[in-house]
Chains A and B, each alone.
Chain A
Amino acid sequence: MTTHAIETRGLSKHYGDLVVLDGLDLEVQTGSVYGFLRPNGAGKSTTIKLIFDLIRPTAGSVTVLGHDAQHDGVLARSGVGYLPQQPHFHPYRTVRGVLSYMAHLSPRAPRGRVLHRRIDELLDQAGLAGKSRRRAGVLSGGERQRLGIAQALIGDPELLILDEPAAGLDPQGRREVLDLIEQMRGRATLFFSTHLLDDVQRVADTVGVLCAGNMIAEGPLGEILEAPAAAYTVRVLGETTPVRARLEQEPWVVGIETHLRGEQELWEVQLAERHAGGLLLDALVDAVGLDVIEFHPTDPSLEFAYFDLVGGER
């Protein structure tokens, strides 16, 4: 068993002078749930097309499940399930027909009666059991997305590649997709691209951040979250103004964002270093005329980390 479900080395794709991918090195550990974060136009679709050998790299290589994606493409794709962004199906096929068609194109999918049962199971999970005879061409966007997920699972994949799996879904549908990813944890390697930071934070254990064709950060979620300065949430009552002014003079305080909550104030305190939390607590406890009602580290937010990494504005 290879340690990397997907591995790219120096992967580049140029269209004339336009550089879409520039020497991408990507490693998706077998068994991981890898969130591939990107802003639009960062080269995410190009990366996925290169993984499936739908386009050829200008330079570099892609290995999928231990096989070269370009030279052993059939073997590389044998154990992969794929949900395209905005999945489209042959409009003349029924919902069941789509799953049957995909199953026959997947060497690992069951056959015969077992396949029928498997299709029934997936239709049930996807909430499409009552629509199995409906033409794929008349499905709604959400139904199409759910069918897309079902067809990606029909081949019992070792590696599941989901391109924007929760895009276009309502909150309920989004939750179901994330639950599904959770269920697949440990059964397959999951590689999903998204621009939804919350989704990555909720289910991914590894994150890659792609920006302008370059991987600007890659690693376990915890490491990525530790990158920015620490933050604390503080709720106080009393003589707040002089304390806040004094804190803002401290070298280990980056900034304080204040929100009024009736007579109380809620402070979002950004610290220059994580270990400065103790100094902050000491300063608050020692402050005269100030009641500290709430004090805790702010949940580490991938949003902070992401925009810190890509240099964008929230």
Chain B
Amino acid sequence: MTGFWALLRGELSRWVGRRGLLHLLGWTLLIQGQLYLSLTNSWDSYSAFWGFDLVVNLLWLFPPLGAIAVAQSAIAEERAWDTVGWVLARPVTRAAFVTSKIVGTALPLILLAVVTQGLIAYVWVPDIEPERGFAAVEPDLGRYAAVLGVLSLLVLLFVALSVALGTVFRRRATVATISLIVFLLFTFPPGERSATWHEWFPGGLVEGQNNGADYKRISEYLLGGSFDGAGAVAVAAIAVLALTAFGAWRFGHEEL
């Protein structure tokens, strides 16, 4: 992994300045705007809906899509710019190159789209009057942080998936399409929710109805219940490691 920190530094430096500010602004408008519109309008479909389940819902739905949108080009743009050979002519390993792409893309996205948005929501969502049927009570901060951690892991998973696919396929559209299909499988997993394998399936963490009657597994934990998604979290973490290893192996064998 020689050169990883220097490469990561280079990746992160890209987010300092305009790119980072645009992402911060965009994610804030998208997440907080959607939250505000939903929580301040008396929509029947949202009645009896716990405000923080909606926060979880939005932080699950949009950041992984953003991760796919950004990460699908991580390797492809280096190829398009013809900079891969130039960078790899330095004393860095290809594994470091791929890993820096994953971490360097996931870290800013997690910070801007999950952690920052989660913290902003934590500040203002409890102040929403419950008169419209929302129970926007402030959750325990420790549990909330753990949930944000799980959501961050899912963002990391989709970044790792897209980057790994980018080492295999040269066309961005192919990478994005396969990643989106996986995202849909996560969102709408086949079979009954009670099926045993859903406990191990990372998508099972965020599976559930948005009507307050059938909370997502991590929302139930946020409400004070026990967490029964440890297996799925472990599978997600292993999948991230496996995808990173695969991407490094695949890229390591590529003739540039």
- Interface check A80, CB cutoff 8 A: yes
Q: Are B83 and A88 in contact (CB under 8 A)?
A: yes
- Interface check B93, CB cutoff 8 A: yes
- Interface check A84, CB cutoff 8 A: yes
Nearest 5 interchain pairs by C-beta: A105-B90, A104-B6, A54-B256, A88-B82, A78-B91
Q: Are A77 and B83 in contact (CB under 8 A)?
A: no
A104 to B10 Cα, complex, angstroms: 9
Q: Are B9 and A77 in contact (CB under 8 A)?
A: no
A78 to B90 Cα, complex, angstroms: 7
- Interface check A180, CB cutoff 8 A: no
A86 to B82 Cα, complex, angstroms: 10
- Interface check B181, CB cutoff 8 A: no
Q: Contacts A54-B255, A104-B6; is A84 near B89 (CB within 8 Å)?
A: yes
Interface contacts (Cβ under 8 Å), in number, total: 66
A97 to B3 Cα, complex, angstroms: 17
Q: Are A80 and B2 in contact (CB under 8 A)?
A: no
Name the interface residues of A39-93: CB closer than 8 Å to any CB of B: 49, 52-56, 73-75, 77-78, 80, 82, 84, 86-92
Which B residues touch A77, using CB under 8 A? 89-91
Closest chain-A Cβ to B94's Cβ sits at a distance in Å of 9
Return the contact of A74 from the options B2, B10, B83 (Cβ within 8 A).
B2
Q: Are B89 and A54 in contact (CB under 8 A)?
A: yes
Closest chain-B Cβ to A102's Cβ sits at a distance in Å of 7
Closest chain-B Cβ to A261's Cβ sits at a distance in Å of 50
- Interface check A289, CB cutoff 8 A: no
Q: Are B3 and A55 in contact (CB under 8 A)?
A: no
A53 to B253 Cα, complex, angstroms: 11
Q: Contacts A54-B255, A74-B2, A104-B9; is A91 near B81 (CB within 8 Å)?
A: yes
A49 to B93 Cα, complex, angstroms: 15
- Interface check A307, CB cutoff 8 A: no
A18 to B213 Cα, complex, angstroms: 66
- Interface check A189, CB cutoff 8 A: no
Closest chain-A Cβ to B135's Cβ sits at a distance in Å of 45
Which B residues touch A105, using CB under 8 A? 3, 6-7, 10, 87, 90-92
Q: Are A74 and B81 in contact (CB under 8 A)?
A: no
Q: Are A84 and B86 in contact (CB under 8 A)?
A: yes
Return the contact of A49 from the options B2, B6, B14, B256 (Cβ within 8 A).
B256
Closest chain-A Cβ to B87's Cβ sits at a distance in Å of 7
- Fill in one digit per residue for B1-24: 1 if any A CB lies within 8 Å of its CB, else 0: 011001101100110000100000
A53 to B90 Cα, complex, angstroms: 11
Which A residues touch B82, using CB under 8 A? 86, 88
We find that the number of chain B residues with CB closer than 8 angstroms to chain A is 23
Q: Are A52 and B91 in contact (CB under 8 A)?
A: no
Binding site for A on B (CB under 8 A): 2-3, 6-7, 9-10, 13-14, 19, 81-83, 85-93, 255-256
A56 to B256 Cα, complex, angstroms: 10
Residue of B nearest to A45 (CB): B85
Which A residues touch B87, using CB under 8 A? 105
We find that the number of chain A residues with CB closer than 8 angstroms to chain B is 28
Q: Contacts A84-B85, A88-B82, A105-B3; is A74 near B91 (CB within 8 Å)?
A: yes
Which B residues touch A91, using CB under 8 A? 81
- Interface check A107, CB cutoff 8 A: yes
Q: Are B86 and A74 in contact (CB under 8 A)?
A: no
Q: Are A102 and B90 in contact (CB under 8 A)?
A: yes
Residue of B nearest to A56 (CB): B255
Return the contact of B13 from the options A53, A55, A80, A97 (Cβ within 8 A).
A97
Which A residues touch B3, using CB under 8 A? 74, 105
Which B residues touch A86, using CB under 8 A? 82
Name the interface residues of A208-222: CB closer than 8 Å to any CB of B: none
Which B residues touch A74, using CB under 8 A? 2-3, 91-93
A88 to B86 Cα, complex, angstroms: 8
A53 to B86 Cα, complex, angstroms: 12
Return the contact of B86 from the options A56, A75, A87, A104 (Cβ within 8 A).
A87
Closest chain-B Cβ to A127's Cβ sits at a distance in Å of 21
Q: Contacts A74-B93, A107-B91; is A101 near B10 (CB within 8 Å)?
A: yes
Apart from A74-B93, A84-B86, 18 more pairs, CB < 8 Å: A54-B88, A55-B255, A73-B91, A73-B93, A77-B90, A78-B91, A82-B86, A84-B89, A89-B83, A90-B14, A92-B19, A97-B13, A102-B90, A104-B6, A104-B9, A105-B6, A105-B87, A105-B91
A242 to B85 Cα, complex, angstroms: 63
Which A residues touch B9, using CB under 8 A? 104
What would 30 A/B residue contacts be, using CB atoms closer than 8 Å?
A49-B85, A52-B85, A52-B88, A52-B89, A53-B88, A54-B89, A54-B256, A55-B256, A74-B2, A74-B3, A74-B91, A74-B92, A75-B91, A77-B89, A77-B90, A77-B91, A82-B86, A84-B86, A86-B82, A87-B86, A88-B83, A90-B14, A90-B83, A91-B81, A92-B14, A101-B13, A102-B90, A105-B6, A105-B7, A106-B91
